């Protein structure tokens, strides 16, 4: 019998809607949430603040290993993210930080430094893990692995809307280029490249709304995990 708390992984490229689905699932099930992208973004921000060259693998990995980061879940499922004691939720969300995150995420020593910290999020009653390699590397034994895709145009549109709503600076053309560059880097890197686990359930969300994505995930959960209060639709 597997005594470890269950994990549901949600992987996919930027702007595909993983964050929305994961927050909803964590609230719906009352489970913990791991936003693994935030750990790479925090590492990038901490390295930039220390004026480290992002290609300096040893020093950036040391920053990742010693990251003073805190995730505080609010009642509505939203997460406050603190770095060195101060709130950085918005600072890590801009595309400059996203691009820097994807650079440091390509460094093998940085991924090693963050591996155990991610696994430590697996606590009862269960974990929803959001990222790029949750199902392939961090939680290969997850109870359910989901992988979301959507066209590059749709993902750019969603990310633009998300950034604008937060009042963050966004230019559609630059954003399209930055997202394309980030996706290419995430998919081509030698360690933990973005790809679905062989046993992942994949959904193309280009033409479907959030509610349908949530229904799809919940139906799979009902079928694959026997959880109290979650019935098969
Ligand atoms: O998901 P988010 O856009 O916040 O991730 C920022 C960057 O962190 C990604 O572009 C990717 O390079 C990296 N990342 C990763 N592995 C994860 C999560 C994020 O390499 N599990």
Instruction: Decide: 6 and 141 in contact? Cβ < 8 Å.
Output: no
Instruction: Decide: 130 and 18 in contact? Cβ < 8 Å.
Output: yes
What does pLDDT average to over the chain?
92
139 in contact with ligand 1, CB cutoff 6 A: no
User: Which residue minimizes the CA distance to atom 20 of ligand 1?
Assistant: 105
Here the contacts of 198-203 (C-beta below 8 Å, separation 24 or greater) are: 199/135, 199/145, 200/9, 200/11, 200/135, 200/145, 200/146, 200/147, 201/144, 201/145, 201/146, 201/147, 202/146, 202/147, 202/148, 202/149, 203/146, 203/147, 203/148, 203/149
Residue 232 pLDDT: 58
Pocket of ligand 1, candidates 64, 98, 132, 139: which has the most ligand atoms within 8 Å of its Cβ, to mutate?
132
DSSP state of 15: T
Q: In what helix (H) or strand (E) does residue 33 lie, and over which residues does it extend?
A: strand 32-35
Predicted TM-score of the model (pTM): 0.94
Instruction: Decide: 209 and 16 in contact? Cβ < 8 Å.
Output: no
- What are the pLDDT digits (tens) for 158-173? 988 888 888 877 788 8
Residue 233 pLDDT: 53
Tokens 């927050």 appear where? 23
Which atom of ligand 1 is nearest the CA belonging to 185? 12
Token digits of residue 179: 């997202």
Domain residue extents for the chain: 7-220
40 in contact with ligand 1, CB cutoff 6 A: yes
Pocket of ligand 1, candidates 39, 105, 107, 163: which has the most ligand atoms within 8 Å of its Cβ, to mutate?
105
111 in contact with ligand 1, CB cutoff 6 A: no
Residue (of 111, 107, 145, 104) closest to 128 by Cα position: 145
156 in contact with ligand 1, CB cutoff 6 A: no
Token digits of residue 94: 């801009």
Q: Are strands 69-73 and 7-11 parallel, antiparallel or unpaired?
A: unpaired
Report CA(132)–ligand 1 centroid distance (Å): 6
- What are the pLDDT digits (tens) for 11-25? 999 889 999 999 999
Report CA(104)–ligand 1 centroid distance (Å): 10
Residue 203 pLDDT: 97
* Rounded Cα–Cα distance for residues 129 and 4 (Å): 15
Could you say which residues of the chain have pLDDT below 70? 1-2, 77, 232-233
Report CA(40)–ligand 1 centroid distance (Å): 6
43 in contact with ligand 1, CB cutoff 6 A: no
User: Which residue minimizes the CA distance to atom 13 of ligand 1?
Assistant: 102
Q: How far is Cα of residue 53 from the mean position of the Cα atoms in its chain? A: 24
- H-assigned helices in the chain: 18-29, 36-49, 57-65, 95-105, 108-119, 152-165, 172-188, 210-224
Structural fold of domain 7-220: Rossmann fold (3.40.50)
């Amino acid at each position: 019998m597997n005594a470890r708390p269950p994990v549901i992984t949600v992987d996919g490229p930027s702007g595909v809607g993983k964050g929305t689905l994961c927050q909803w699932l964590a609230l719906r099930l009352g489970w913990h949430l791991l936003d693994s992208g935030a750990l790479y973004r925090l590492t990038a921000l901490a390295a930039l603040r220390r004026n480290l060259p992002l290609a300096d693998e040893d020093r950036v990995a040391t920053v990742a290993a010693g990251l003073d980061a805190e995730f505080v879940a609010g009642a509505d499922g939203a997460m406050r993210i603190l770095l060195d004691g101060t709130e950085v939720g918005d600072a890590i969300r801009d595309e400059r930080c996203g691009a820097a995150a994807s650079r440091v995420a390509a460094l093998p020593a940085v991924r090693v430094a963050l591996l155990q910290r991610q696994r430590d999020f697996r606590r009862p009653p269960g974990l929803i893990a959001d990222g790029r390699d949750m199902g392939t590397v961090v939680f290969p034994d997850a109870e359910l692995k989901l992988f979301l895709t959507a066209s590059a145009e749709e993902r750019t549109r969603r990310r633009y809307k998300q950034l604008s709503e937060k009042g963050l600076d966004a230019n559609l053309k630059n954003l399209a280029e930055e997202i394309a560059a980030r996706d290419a880097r995430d998919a081509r890197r030698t360690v933990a490249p973005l790809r679905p686990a062989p046993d992942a359930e994949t959904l193309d969300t280009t033409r479907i709304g959030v509610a349908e994505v949530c229904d799809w995930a919940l139906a799979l959960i009902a079928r694959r995990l026997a959880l109290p209060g979650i019935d098969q639709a």
